[in-house]
Chains A and B, each alone.
Chain A
Amino acid sequence: MNEKKYFHAIKLVNENCTACTKCVRVCPTEALRVRDDKVEMDSTRCIDCGNCVKACEYNAIQTYADKLDIIEKFKYKVAIISSSYAGQFSESIGYATAKKALLHIGFDEVAQEAMVTDMMSVMIQDYLKKNKDLRPIISSNCPAVVRLIQVRFTSLLPHLLRIEAPMSILAMYYRDMVCKQKNLSEDEVGVFLIVPCVSQVTAVHQPEGTYKNLQDGAISIREVYGKVMDKVSDAEEDETEIELYPNGLNWAISGMQADEIGNEEFHTMAVNGIHNVIDVLTKIEGDQLEYFDYIVMNSCINGCVGGVLNIENPFVATSRIKRLLQKSEHKYFEDELFYKMYQNGELDVIPLEGRPIMALDKDIKSALMKMQKIGEIIKLLPNLDCSACGSPTCAALAEDIVAGKASLDDCVVRSRKIKKETSGKQKAGK
């Protein structure tokens, strides 16, 4: 139906695929199928949540992110690191060293998401006040959640917070500042995100709602981790003073942003894990949570620390970040310019359009006819949802059959049953 091509930071490697269907079963938008013993993806459905990557044990679903060497194309290289980066390193290395090491692997300047979260909280509270007639407002931080709403919960699009994400705001700010300070043109400054998940890579390569591409690439934490480890001793000897803004790191952990914004005036909540997110979105659609002012949603368990491009287990990373918060003093990064940008509408996001994937047909009458056929086919299927046919559930197989993408013979359980029955009849006949 949709002609538009979608970028995805997920690569299917067919030669590694064993057709086990683990990925098919975990996909929240039913974007994957196994056909002819190979995994296939419907790119209009995929929201880049990365659940299939986590599920695949055969390295048949790999991630795409930019390689570190792409930064060489630029004269001045700025890295903006996701807060979950801090959770990847043990205390013996320390966040300051890990951050400084980025200056030793090729970057000229390192900024962090955590710098602007204080200011973001103020802006979000202001946004909540200005949009009192719409409840709840849903955070737009997690690109996988934003895409999930676009494809499965289109009626909730107006609820999405329409302020740029922290790392996008920083990208604008740094490009502008560096150009002025170093007397460079915009193309000479490369701004790169160091990201914990595939949805962030997709958001950089195919942004939704932004007026222009803000970053020059998205490099994974996995890509830089080994190189950073090699430079730890250099970074330890380096006496350059750097700021850490530890308090803002808490946005990498689900729950922290909601706690920060919540107060007597604003009732907030945090949800993490894609299935919990779907559950809560379903409730919002039924107007069951209209007494919440702001809901922060993360596709990954525990928040961004759960992203598939991290190194460390999400619980270990969470605990490290929390300890870092306890042990350090908070530094505020304040720049009036950010508030000015917000007031001038420079941080606004274009209202997003839906790209619904659920409809069986463009026309309701045809969709009804297809639904009737699907209903008839479901009666012939075992309702085991075993996925052996390559579709995630019996209902999905029935839909695939009506769409002409599969046949009843694909159902292994049914075929075996028929075979048994016919051989039974033959025996009885003898």
Chain B
Amino acid sequence: MGEYWYKRENFEDQIDKFFNESTDPAIVLDYTIGVRDFVTSGNAAAQIKLTLKKLGVDPAILRRTAIAVYEAEINMTAHAQGGELKCNVFPDCVHIVCHDLGPGIKDIEQSMVPGYSTAEDLVREMGFGAGLGLPNIKKNTDLLHIISGEGERTYLEIIIYFE
């Protein structure tokens, strides 16, 4: 099993506090992501985005969230065997946890390099699998935490702060 942590500069204290205090979220949204389900994948991202719009979250932050969640959701459909996506909304941030059904990421560090992809042809033909998913998630989040290994279920969580 490998583990990867990314904390955006200047957000380290806030993030550590988040994990140490573990308060209950104000709103929880749960989604089941189907395997190779390209018809409904994207729905979770769309609904989370709508929720943030209703909260009046800044448009730039809304876009970062939309991009990161969409990538995470597509990853679960295209590269994994589907899984669960949970969105926890707090007054100051959104925390999203994706727990897929495998087959896991062999080398997380390598998968963070833009352009690196293990996608099969079918997935590429559908316009996915360009190897930009994880780097794109990282670019748009304040926290990215991944636990995975070959043949394992991947655990991915992200946090985006509203300010």
Query: Interface on A for B, CB 8 Å cutoff?
Result: 152, 154-155, 157, 282, 285-288, 354, 356, 358-365, 367-369, 371-372, 375
Report the separation of the CA atoms of residues A288 and B68 in the bound assembly, to the nearest whole angstrom. 11
A152 / chain B contacts, CB cutoff of 8 Å: 53
- A287 near B54 with CB under 8 A, answer no
Report the separation of the CA atoms of residues A155 and B64 in the bound assembly, to the nearest whole angstrom. 10
Contact of A360 among B49, B55, B63 (CB under 8 A): B55
- B56 near A154 with CB under 8 A, answer no
A282 / chain B contacts, CB cutoff of 8 Å: 46, 49
- A368 near B27 with CB under 8 A, answer yes
Given contacts A287-B63, A288-B70, A368-B55, list 17 more A-B pairs with CB under 8 A. Answer: A154-B59, A155-B59, A155-B60, A157-B59, A282-B46, A282-B49, A286-B49, A287-B66, A287-B136, A356-B56, A358-B54, A359-B56, A360-B54, A364-B56, A364-B57, A367-B54, A375-B27
Q: Which of B56, B70, B91 has the most CB of A within 10 A?
A: B56
Q: 14 A-B contacts, Cβ less than 8 Å apart? A: A155-B62, A286-B45, A286-B66, A287-B63, A354-B59, A359-B54, A360-B55, A362-B56, A364-B55, A364-B56, A364-B91, A367-B55, A371-B55, A372-B27
The residue on B at minimum CB distance from A155 is: B59
Q: Which of A286, A287, A361 has the most CB of B within 10 A?
A: A286
The residue on A at minimum CB distance from B58 is: A155
B89 interfacial by beta-carbon distance below 8 Å:
yes
Report the separation of the CA atoms of residues A285 and B45 in the bound assembly, to the nearest whole angstrom. 10
B162 CB, min distance to chain A CBs, angstroms = 6
Report the separation of the CA atoms of residues A354 and B57 in the bound assembly, to the nearest whole angstrom. 13
Contact of A356 among B42, B49, B53 (CB under 8 A): B53
A286 / chain B contacts, CB cutoff of 8 Å: 42, 45-46, 49, 66-67, 70
B51 interfacial by beta-carbon distance below 8 Å:
yes
Q: Which of B54, B60, B63, B92 has the most CB of A within 10 A?
A: B54
B27 CB, min distance to chain A CBs, angstroms = 6
The residue on A at minimum CB distance from B66 is: A286
B39 interfacial by beta-carbon distance below 8 Å:
no
B3 CB, min distance to chain A CBs, angstroms = 27
- B89 near A368 with CB under 8 A, answer yes
B57 / chain A contacts, CB cutoff of 8 Å: 364
Report the separation of the CA atoms of residues A154 and B60 in the bound assembly, to the nearest whole angstrom. 9
- B42 near A359 with CB under 8 A, answer no
The 8 closest A-B pairs by CB, nearest first: A359-B56, A155-B59, A358-B53, A286-B70, A368-B26, A287-B67, A155-B63, A154-B59
Report the separation of the CA atoms of residues A328 and B136 in the bound assembly, to the nearest whole angstrom. 50
B53 / chain A contacts, CB cutoff of 8 Å: 152, 356, 358-359
Query: Interface on B for A, CB 8 Å cutoff?
Result: 26-27, 42, 45-46, 49-51, 53-57, 59-60, 62-63, 66-67, 70, 89, 91-92, 136, 162
B28 CB, min distance to chain A CBs, angstroms = 10
Report the separation of the CA atoms of residues A58 and B161 in the bound assembly, to the nearest whole angstrom. 49
A375 / chain B contacts, CB cutoff of 8 Å: 27
A359 / chain B contacts, CB cutoff of 8 Å: 53-56
A138 CB, min distance to chain B CBs, angstroms = 14
Q: Are A365 and B91 also in contact (CB < 8 A) when A286-B49, A287-B67 are? A: yes
B86 CB, min distance to chain A CBs, angstroms = 16
- A372 near B49 with CB under 8 A, answer no
Report the separation of the CA atoms of residues A343 and B62 in the bound assembly, to the nearest whole angstrom. 35
The residue on A at minimum CB distance from B55 is: A367
The residue on B at minimum CB distance from A357 is: B53
- A364 near B46 with CB under 8 A, answer no
- B70 near A361 with CB under 8 A, answer no
Report the separation of the CA atoms of residues A356 and B57 in the bound assembly, to the nearest whole angstrom. 10
The residue on A at minimum CB distance from B46 is: A282
B63 CB, min distance to chain A CBs, angstroms = 4
Report the separation of the CA atoms of residues A356 and B55 in the bound assembly, to the nearest whole angstrom. 11
B117 CB, min distance to chain A CBs, angstroms = 16
A368 / chain B contacts, CB cutoff of 8 Å: 26-27, 55, 89, 91
- A285 near B63 with CB under 8 A, answer yes
The residue on A at minimum CB distance from B59 is: A155
B133 CB, min distance to chain A CBs, angstroms = 12
Report the separation of the CA atoms of residues A287 and B132 in the bound assembly, to the nearest whole angstrom. 12
